[in-house]
Structure 1
């Protein structure tokens, strides 16, 4: 996996093996574009860390190196879920490399990552969300492309409940403006169509008509969301936008785009939406995954009851 940002940066360690693993994911495992992109980013992070230790080949890896890498991720303040995902990527990569004969022994067999917390996801209440979206709308009034894009991102993520990887992969023709529907490519390359509301439609129209036109370049293609240089917005940039806005919300531990997905699902169930309809909207394979949000709603109900009922 070679660096693609110009020719000044050196090739990362075990680049050929990493590229072979990515091809394996695409062609044999039929992983989605978003999943492959996540794997690629995780491997590049691991390779860069290995290079910092002077390790240039797979044969130079050992359990100590792998544990040091996980420790560095923890020191950076990454969540347990993120560290667990990156560890899983490297374990899968090294298992593949061993099967393919690139490694004599797999150094990741005894690698353990921190377990994900099983607590309920943090969600925003309606009273927290409305000022957030109102502030984004006010900031966009002047027509600044950054503000227009931020408002469209927030409104679409909450209005549709789609994943951030699905959002950055959207093209202009994925939007059905008349019916207010968006076509997304989810996990496992499964396509689904998701509705979005009037505020999201207005925000998208403003971004496309007044913001995107100022950043679009001849090589921008059909990407819906762009950066200032005209390139397709990536997940890291989208997360940064959302986290910056959520940082101003008091009384919540919600962070990142997934918090808006959690919030959308919880608000739908609070409002009486059918569980299977929410499953379809979110693109969950299993109904059990969607049922997590019923627990969130019950937990919110219990807290409200304890705070408000005189005989609680």
Structure 2
């Protein structure tokens, strides 16, 4: 590197702004996804500037390789990235360079021959059916309207397999009386997902007994919202607050393992497949663009292997 860069070169800065606008407007990516791209690409652009590259057209394959090495080791001043995070960073860089080539900002794609670091494929973490039941019961232990809301929120997450952003983004009208909910997924794609009877009961109780109380808090401030899940001020519940709801329920349930909103999504898919659901149907329910993403849930778990071993091996017991 030549010298640390306090600011990006004008050409790099302009190219980055154009690409982020393309992701937001033309590809319709969510604000959270665009923010993740901005973080990854700002780090890359800073690295290029410090390396003396003023335009994307100046970047060579060796520069991309040096960047990946730097972020893996934290040599660029940022935190070291895991193999999976490095692969994500490369995907963002590759997308930017492909956009630049399509827009005539560069003649070649320096990422074409660059490969991501090898990742260890891990099974998604899923709770047992009993652990999910304890978690959902614990959510209702809160006092007042919040307890009803928390139970309805977690029931909805597990019943639909929705992402946290999709569920907190629900409006009241998105939940049909026919047991169907409309989720707005990545890229603004809408999908319809059935809602189980337990979730419907929990949502109905929340709508009748809790949401009007929370709505009145917003009305007192002259605000109203169509959001399904509200906070104590009558505003839409945020993703961060939903995480906190889940964390409190997991603590009350005495769950030792780490539980995140995606844990419920993993549990949803795993339990469906274990019950005999077709992987293509689960793909549609999860909103995966490719069935390959969904197929990771079909991998045999260590628990299943132990059960088969114990039942079949003559010296197992």
TM-score (normalised: structure 1): 0.70
Q: Is the 8 A contact 1:18 1:43 kept in 2?
A: no
Q: CA deviation at 1:68?
A: 4.2
Partner residue of 2:34 out of 29, 35, 40:
40
> Residue 127 of structure 1 corresponds to which residue in structure 2?
130
For residues 117 and 311 of structure 2, what CA distance do their matches in structure 1 show?
Answer: 38
- Which 10-residue stretch deviates more, 278-287 or 93-102? 93-102
- Offset of 1:239 from its aligned partner? 4.2
Cα displacement (A) at 1:40: 1.5
For residue 260 of structure 1, report the CA deviation from its aligned partner.
0.9
Instruction: Give yes or no for contact 1:212–1:225 (8 Å, CA) kept in 2.
Output: no
| Partner of residue 22 from structure 1, selected from 10, 20, 23 | 20
What residue in structure 2 maps to residue 303 of structure 1?
Answer: 306
Quick check: 233-242 or 35-44, which moved more?
233-242
Task: Give the paired residue count.
Answer: 292
Shift of 1:113: 5.0
Q: 1:274 to 1:94 in 2, by over 3 A?
A: closer
Conserved in 2, the CA contact under 8 Å of 1:161 and 1:261?
A: yes
* C-alpha separation in 2, matches of 1:230 and 1:111: 49
Q: More deviation in 163-172 or 300-309?
A: 300-309
* Structure 2: runs of 5 or more not aligned: 1-6
Report the CA distance shift for 1:208/1:76 in structure 2 as closer, same or farther (over 3 A): farther
Q: State the match for 1:181 in structure 2.
A: 180
* More off after superposition, 93-102 vs 165-174: 93-102
CA drift at 1:88? 1.7
After superposition, the Cα gap between the structure-2 partners of 1:99 and 1:159, relative to the gap in structure 1 and judged at 3 Å, is: same
Q: Please give the alpha-carbon distance, in whole angstroms, between the structure 2 residues aligned to 1:290 and 1:23.
A: 30
Is this contact kept in 1: 2:145–2:213, CA < 8 A?
yes
Matches within 5 A, 1:75-154: 80-97=83-100, 99-100=102-103, 113-139=116-142, 141-144=143-146, 147-154=147-154
> Which residue is equivalent to 2:281?
277
* Structure 1: distance between partners of 2:137 and 2:295: 30
Deviation at 1:77, TM superposition (A): 8.7
Deviates most, 123-132 or 279-288: 279-288
Return the TM-score normalized by structure 2: 0.69
Counterpart CA distance in 2 for 1:58 and 1:233 is 43
Q: Report the equivalent of 1:59.
A: 54
**Secondary structure of 1:117's aligned partner:** coil
Give 2:161's aligned residue: 161
Query: Alpha carbons of 1:70 and 1:169: their partners in 2 closer, same or farther (altered >3 Å)?
Result: farther
Counterpart CA distance in 2 for 1:51 and 1:226 is 39
Match of 1:265 in 2: 269
* Structure number with larger C-alpha Rg: 2
Provide the alpha-carbon RMSD of the alignment. Answer: 4.3
